[in-house]
Amino acid sequence: MKVHVEIDCTPEEARTFLGLPDVSKANGLYVEAIAKAMKGAGNIDQVQDFAKNLAPMGQVGMKLFQQFMEGGAAFASGAAKKKDPD
């Protein structure tokens, strides 16, 4: 048996319903800081250096995050295959 539920709500309503915190102010400050820093970049090398410094633990953090996302995707696809015996 399959049951499909469709909920029509705004992202704000979904966030409130799920009890997630409102991070819009922090996000605004973060975007503003990045925009200011990017204005000072004169060439592509400076932009790349800036992007590397944004990530927690530099490139190691980015690799860990990438592995985490790939592992999650692999697990989800494997779980979907096992779950769907039809």
Residues 47 and 32 in one domain: yes
Sign of CA dihedral 38, 43, 49, 52: positive
Domain that holds residue 13: 7-54
Residues 14 and 45 in one domain: yes
Residues 39 and 61 in one domain: no
What pLDDT, on the 0 to 100 scale, is given for residue 83?
52
- Mean pLDDT per 10-residue segment, the chain (86 residues): 91 88 84 76 71 66 75 72 54
CB 52 within 8 A of CB 58: yes
